[in-house]
Every structure is written in structure tokens, then in C-alpha cells.
Amino acid sequence: MPTFRLVLTVTVHAPIERVYALLRTVENYPRLFRYMHDLRVLERQDDTVLAEVNEDMFGLRVFWVTTRFTFDPPHKVTMEQVRGPFERAVGWFTLTPQPDSTTRLEHGVEIVVGGLLGMLGKKVLESGLAKRRMVEEMQAIKRAAEAEMEASPR
């Protein structure tokens, strides 16, 4: 089955703890990411959250996807599709502290497509839509973390 993989990086002018805290709070994702309309936590255990996410996908509004978020503080957040349109879908954010108190944020995704919906998804992924969405996600995280830095007393 066809596999799509993409990895992007950006520098966030905020310490790793602040960026990680932003990513750890999955309940705030619908405010952070414009394509996400709702997120309901189904289960929370230690460093794992299972949630139903209502989001735009394939240019269509409102898909419910069950996602497992796994946290490895303060360096990584992994999102894995449990139920959804793809054969397999895993995304991740990897955070690396930099000497100047900034954070290198890597965002990656690996998606295996299959079936009719998967083939439609493959066309969308190849069109560059996935890359634009990932860039948008990274910019939203960067803006939010840097805005928190500007708002906090020094």
C-alpha cells in the first residue's frame, strides 16, 4: 500500500517547557488548529490520551477520527489514528531545546493509504494539501508559544 511521509521543522522562540505544555493540552487543539472543530477526551492514563477529534479532511468538513496521543515529556508527542480514514496514520512533534532558549520543533507524519477513501486521501496528500496543513499547524504552535512568552513577565 502507498505510504506518504513528510517531516518539517521550525524554530520556536520559546523554551521547550512552554512549547511542550502547549502541545500536552490536547483540549486546546480546536482553538489552536483551524481545521479541528471539536475534541472529546475518551480516556486519560498517565502519558496517554484517547480522544475523538472532529476535523476537516480531504476537503470535506466533519470527519470523526479516534486518535491516541502519547506524551514523552518534554521531548515528544505522538498522535496515532485508532479509527479513521487511513490504513495507518501516525504524526509526531519532536522538541529539541537550543542553546539560545529556543526550541527546534519537528513535525512529521507517516500515512499508509488503502481502499477507495484511501486513494482519495492519497491524491489529496500528493496535491500538497498535507504539507500546507502541517506548515499551518507549526505556525499556530509557534505563534501561540511566542505570544505566551511576550505576555509573561520576564
CA gap 12, 108 in Å, rounded: 16
Cβ atoms of residues 12 and 105 within 8 Å: yes
Domains, the chain, with CATH or none: 3-151 (3.30.530.20)
| 140 burial via Cβ count (<10 Å: 0-12, 13-18, 19+) | middle
Q: What is the CA radius of gyration of the chain?
A: 16
Here the cell at position 78 is: 505522538
Q: What is the pLDDT of residues 84-121, one digit of tens each?
A: 888 899 999 999 999 999 999 999 999 888 777 666 66
Question: Model-level pTM greater than 0.85?
Answer: yes
Contact partners, residue 115, CB within 8 Å, separation at least 6:
87
Cβ atoms of residues 88 and 81 within 8 Å: yes
CA gap 42, 66 in Å, rounded: 9
Whose CA is closest to 79, among 108, 114, 46? Answer: 108
What phi and psi values does residue 44 have, to the nearest 5 degrees? -135, 125
In tens digits, the chain (154 residues) has pLDDT values of: 778 899 999 999 999 999 999 999 999 999 999 989 999 999 999 999 999 999 987 666 667 899 999 999 999 999 999 998 888 999 999 999 999 999 999 999 998 887 776 666 667 667 788 888 899 999 999 999 999 888 876 5
88 sits in which H/E element: strand 88-97
Cβ atoms of residues 101 and 83 within 8 Å: no
CA gap 103, 88 in Å, rounded: 29
Phi/psi region, residue 58 (left: phi>0; alpha: psi -120 to 50; beta: rest), is left
